Chains A and B, each alone.
Chain A
Amino acid sequence: MKITDAAVYPYPNGDSSVRRMALEAKALGFDSIVAVDTPPQTYEGIEIVRGVLIQDVPMRDVIGKVKQARESHAIVSVHAKDNGFNRAVIGLKGVQILRGIQHADKLAFDHVTAKMAADNCVAIDIDLSALLAARGVARQRAIYRYRDVLIFERRFEFPLTLSSSARSVLDMRAVREISGLCSLIGMDMPDVEKALAGVGTVSTPPVPAVRVIP
């Protein structure tokens, strides 16, 4: 089980190089990071996985971008929008993470979308920057939305991922701090461990329930 931060944004999207982020991740207790728009590599024992984030594009462009990304073996994340868009994205082969659910409208993620996510092994991302950087109503709304997602997760058992969305090493948090933050949304330690291993769950091909032995 690899403990992974599901999204960091190294230079030029942020102010830290991907190597520095890898060093920091190692010190904070991670085994791997998903770095957006960065080639895959290993540095100081930390696996850096390439991430592709698709946002602010219509559905037909999403299909094209997912096809391109699938060839490069990247972790493909799509930013959530309305309910119809989310259902279409979850049904798309090659999409691994649906993120930004806290910014989408209230009905964007319902029980049907949750069931589809479980069936297609698409993870829902818990973005901790919403708990770290936001204050007041924005943070309350994020906590409310994440608690709602967790209710569906307990019922349908779709994968979850945890991301810091760090654009700087200063935004990264230790695994111990992340488990503390996740307690705010009702996640206990086994839930956090499972979510930190969520990237591994969605990136490995599912084992078929029935195996044909010649």
Chain B
Amino acid sequence: MTVRPPTLREKRRYLLVRVEPAGTAIDQKELYYAIADAVTSLWGDAIAAVISQAVVAAEEGHVVIRCRRGSEKELVIALSTMTACRDTRIALRIIAASGTIESLRERIRDAQPEDPVGPGEPAEQEYCFGKNVYAIGNCNGQKVDVIEKGFKNAHRLFLTREDLEKP
């Protein structure tokens, strides 16, 4: 198949999206199906075909989603209705829209976490919140995601540094 000349190609836009909670393993294919489900559920097949969304990159907690130019608003609304990917609860935060993937990659490089937990840092320590003991799962500035210690019901809580106490 010959490549179309640039004037005959359809114009596309790319959305940079941050996946929360931080540290969630993103499977590009799973995310594509979850987004397609959200778009079709909200707008129907006809508009989903116009949007023609696709996940083109997933790196460092960020995802680049492609759509047809002019349909960004519909895609953003559909993305805001996404609450889960498979069985994992997620939220997609729209960071930027651009005509090229490269400019969004620069944004990803600029958006490094303020205070990531490194190996051997407080992540190994235990903290108390309420009556339970938690380990730090992810840490970014004031924001701390903790996971309950134990074999069963390992719930994730979203707290701040001030909420945590030493056991």
Contact = CB atoms under 8 A, between A and B. Distances in A.
Contacts of B130: 11-12
Contact of B90 (A20, A170, A177): A170
Interface string A143-181: 000000000000000000000000011111110110011
Interface string A2-34: 000000000110011101100100000000000
A16 B77 contact: no
A147 to B, nearest CB: 16
Contact of A17 (B41, B76, B158): B158
Nearest to A132: B81
Interface residues of B, number: 27
Interface stretch (B27-35, B118-126, B159-167): B159-167
A136 B20 contact: no
A180 B76 contact: yes
Q: Identify which of B21, B80, B157 gathers the most chain A CB atoms within 10 Å of its CB.
A: B80
Nearest to A177: B80
Interface residues of A, number: 28
Majority SS at the chain B contact face:
mixed
A181 B77 contact: yes
Contacts of A184: 42, 77
A171 B158 contact: no
Contacts, number: 72
Given A12-B130, A17-B163, A20-B143, A169 B77 contact: no
B83 A15 contact: no
B73 interface: yes
B149 interface: no
Contacts of B156: 15
A130 B130 CA distance: 30
7 contacts: A20-B159, A132-B80, A136-B41, A168-B89, A169-B20, A171-B83, A180-B80
3 closest cross-chain pairs (CB), A and B: A16-B158, A177-B80, A170-B91
Interface of B: 20-21, 41-42, 73, 76-77, 80-81, 83, 89-91, 93-94, 129-130, 142-143, 155-160, 162-163
Given A11-B157, A170-B20, 17 more contacts: A16-B157, A17-B129, A20-B143, A20-B163, A23-B142, A44-B142, A132-B80, A132-B83, A133-B83, A136-B41, A170-B21, A170-B158, A173-B80, A174-B93, A180-B73, A184-B42, A184-B77
